[in-house]
Each structure stands twice: as C-alpha cells, then as structure tokens.
C-alpha cells in the first residue's frame, strides 16, 4: 500500500500572464484579463493541483480595467469568481509578486497555461524567449494551453524542426467578430492586429471559432486553446482531462 501511495504525485501547473504594457493604438495602460487567470486557477486548485503564477519579467501584474469586477465600467461586474480571487489576500498576492519566467524550471511542471488580455498582443507576440519556452515545453510532450489574445504566440512559435507549432493543428483564439464588437463598443480600433485574420494567412493550420463570446476550447493532442475570456475555465478542464488520461 505504501508503494502505491508513494507513486501518487500532485500535478503542477505553470500559469504565465503578461506584464503591464501600454497600447500603441489606444494609449491605454493594458495588462492581463483576470477571468482568464482566476477561473483556470479555481479549476486547478479544486482538483488538488499546485499552481505557480509567472510572467516574463516577474513582479506585479496589472489587470485590463474592464476585466476588473470592481471597475466603474461594470463590464465584468458579473464575474464573482474574479472578485473573490482579488478579495482574498493569499490569492491576490499571487499576482502582486509573480515569478520571473527565466527563473522557472519547466521540468517541475506538468502543464503550461498562458493567460490572455490586451497586453500579450504587445508583450507575447514577438517575445522569442517566451516562444522558445512554449515550444520546448510542448516538445517535452507536456500539456500546453493558451487562451484568448495569448494565442498570438502561436502565430510565430516554431518547433525545433523550424515549423510552426500550429502546423497541421486545430486551434482557436480571439475571433474577428469579437474584435469588431469590441472596436464598435469603444468607438475605435483596439488591437494592432487580429489573431483570426493572421491565422487565416497560415498554410496547413486549422483555426476555428465558435459563437461570439461563447465558451469555446479546443484540444488537439497536447495543445489546448481557448477562444476568449469566457473560455478559460473550459480550457482548464481540458487540461485536467488530458492530465488524467
């Protein structure tokens, strides 16, 4: 019996979120979308996983203001899970003092989960160190999950054979229709490029989207992707399902 118990180990997940940035198109301070971190975090800890939150530069994360349930816009006032995450000192501390990604040993983790928001479109898309981290993790035959605007990394992340990670893969990310809705909502262009538009220029890949702002997550082998902020929990559940197989 003791030998059986000794073989049981706690699964560990590394969540990576963007450091703060400033949008070149709107001039807004931008960051990560809290629901894409808090909802997956909840799924993982509820299943007994250990979670580390990291960022490329380490340190304090900032929220996209509209993702904050307490923001005066009221855009995410319905997000009680994120409100609870931000209210609890022990969880709030996790995003006020993130681990620097270069200090992380990927061998310590069973799954990788990249969080979206507006900032990844500037801080992730051309970050070659992050691209290599993602590619190496994936090529170690481990579960690699990416949601919302963080999927911009998949437009450029290449494997050791020089081919894009998404070659011959089915995946998803923020949809053109959702970008258009957001632009119309604020009355201006928000993003420097649209992920679906760029993905459609890539040969030998299958980028798919579901209904506008509907929960939608896709698994293709060890690659898991989520469409937008309502898909983080669904993507986390696919991670848990995959690790359990």
Q: Where are the domains of the chain?
A: 9-243
pTM: 0.95
Assign 3-class secondary structure to the chain: CHHHHHCCCCCEEEEECCCCEECCCCCCEECECCHHHHHHHHHHHHCCCEEEEEECCCECCCECHHHCCCCCCCCCCCCHHHHHHHHCHHHHHHHHCEEEHHHCCHHHCCEEEECCCCCHHHHCCCCHHHHHHHHHHHHCCCEEEEEHHHHHHHHCCECCCCCECCCCCEECCCCHHHHHHHHHHHCCCCCCCCHHHHHCCCCCCEECCCCCCCCCEEEECCEEEECCCCCHHHHHHHHHHHHCC
pLDDT value for 245: 77
pLDDT in tens, 19-58: 999 999 999 999 999 999 999 999 999 999 999 999 999 9
pLDDT in tens, 122-137: 999 999 999 999 999 9
Mean pLDDT score, 132-144: 98
pLDDT value for 3: 38
pLDDT value for 8: 54
Topology (CATH level 3) of domain 9-243? Rossmann fold (3.40.50)
């Amino acid at each position: 019996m003791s030998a059986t118990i000794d073989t049981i180990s706690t699964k560990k997940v590394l969540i990576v979120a963007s450091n703060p940035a400033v949008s070149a198109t709107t001039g807004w301070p931008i960051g990560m979308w809290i629901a894409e971190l808090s909802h997956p975090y909840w799924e993982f800890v509820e299943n007994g996983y250990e979670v580390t939150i990291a960022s490329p530069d380490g340190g304090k994360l900032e929220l996209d203001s509209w993702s904050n349930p307490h923001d005066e816009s009221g855009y995410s006032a319905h997000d009680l899970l994120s409100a609870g995450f931000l209210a609890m000192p022990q969880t709030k501390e996790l995003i006020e003092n993130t681990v620097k990604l270069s200090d992380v040993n990927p061998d310590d983790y069973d799954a990788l989960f990249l969080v979206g928001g507006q900032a990844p479109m500037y801080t992730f898309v051309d970050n070659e160190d992050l691209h290599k981290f993602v590619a190496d993790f994936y090529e170690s035959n481990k579960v690699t999950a990416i949601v919302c605007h963080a999927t911009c990394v998949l437009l450029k992340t290449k494997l050791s054979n020089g081919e894009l990670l998404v070659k011959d893969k089915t995946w998803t990310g923020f949809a053109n229709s959702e970008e258009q809705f957001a632009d119309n909502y604020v009355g201006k262009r928000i993003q420097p490029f649209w992920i679906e538009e760029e993905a459609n220029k890539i040969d030998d890949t299958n980028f798919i989207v579901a209904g506008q702002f509907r929960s939608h997550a896709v698994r293709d082998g060890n690659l898991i992707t989520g469409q937008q902020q309502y898909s983080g929990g669904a993507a986390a559940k696919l991670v848990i399902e995959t690790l359990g197989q």
